[in-house]
């Protein structure tokens, strides 16, 4: 694990959210951090982007493990009371229905792949840490990345909502190590984000 860069992600994201009060600013800074680190370690990342014969099997397994974490979230924290806060923080507009398709497309095409390649490719380095440290680091810091901004916005309920991402981070790190490919985590992450977007639309936009 590259602990410094992994720790920078939640720290910078949280700082940007506190300073601006807007999610797009925090996301943009986070994505810049991801892109810089991925480019720096492109020689390690590129081999992981090759598809191998076991990738499909690992993709299905990772998705089946991660999806239950997400489905339980609305039962832990009722999202309905946070509709106004979500719209103000993410869109700051009277027409969220117009912007939401663009937000969803950006999330699936840019955010999810960039995030996954950063965490499981650029930050995770099997030459510097063994599997236990990698799984713990991915769980703790990937979970913190989501718990920090959600905690800033929602308090304790937001921190609780960050917990499923910690479990997902460990699963995606594990399948990347076992499969030798980023594709299982990339595809599983895409499915997870698609479900989250569907929930956002249902509770906040429709």
- State the Cα torsion 186-187-190-195 to the nearest 10°: -140
Angle at 110 between CA 61 and CA 53, to 5 degrees: 35
**Cα separation, 16 vs 21, whole angstroms:** 8
The gap between the terminal CA atoms of the chain, to the nearest Å, is: 41
pLDDT tens column, 110-126:
999 999 999 999 999 88
Residues 6+ apart with CB under 8 A from 12: 29, 30, 33
pLDDT tens column, 163-189:
899 999 999 999 999 999 999 999 999
> What is residue 76's predicted lDDT score, i.e. its pLDDT?
77
On average, the pLDDT of the chain sits at: 93
**Cα separation, 107 vs 53, whole angstroms:** 27
Cα atoms in the Cβ-side hemisphere of radius 13 Å centred on 55:
15
Would you list the DSSP string of 45-98?
Answer: HHHHTS--TTHHHHHHHHHHHHHHHHHTHHHHS--GGGHHHHHHHHT-SS-HHH
> Quick one: 72 exposed, middle or buried, by C-beta within 10 A (0-12, 13-18, 19+)?
exposed
Mean pLDDT within 62-91: 88
Q: What percent of the chain has pLDDT over 90?
A: 77
**Cα separation, 5 vs 73, whole angstroms:** 28
């Amino acid at each position: 694990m590259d602990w410094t860069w992994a720790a920078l992600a939640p720290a910078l994201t949280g700082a940007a959210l506190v300073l601006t009060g807007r999610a797009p600013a925090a996301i943009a800074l986070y994505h810049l951090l991801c892109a810089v680190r991925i480019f720096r370690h492109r020689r390690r990342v590129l081999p992981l982007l090759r598809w191998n014969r076991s990738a499909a099997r690992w993709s299905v397994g990772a998705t089946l493990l991660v999806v239950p974490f997400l489905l339980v979230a609305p039962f832990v924290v009722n999202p309905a009371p946070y509709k106004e806060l979500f719209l103000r923080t993410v869109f700051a507009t009277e027409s969220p229905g117009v912007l939401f398709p663009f937000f969803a497309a950006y999330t699936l095409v840019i955010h999810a792949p960039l995030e996954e390649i950063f965490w499981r490719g650029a930050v995770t380095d099997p030459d510097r840490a063994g599997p236990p440290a990698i799984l713990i680091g991915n769980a703790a810091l990937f979970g913190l990345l989501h718990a920090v901004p959600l905690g800033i916005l929602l308090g304790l309920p937001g921190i609780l909502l960050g917990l499923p991402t910690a479990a997902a981070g460990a699963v995606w790190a594990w399948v990347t190590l076992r499969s030798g490919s980023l594709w299982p985590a990339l595809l599983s992450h895409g499915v997870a984000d698609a479900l989250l977007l569907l929930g956002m639309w249902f509770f906040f936009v429709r």
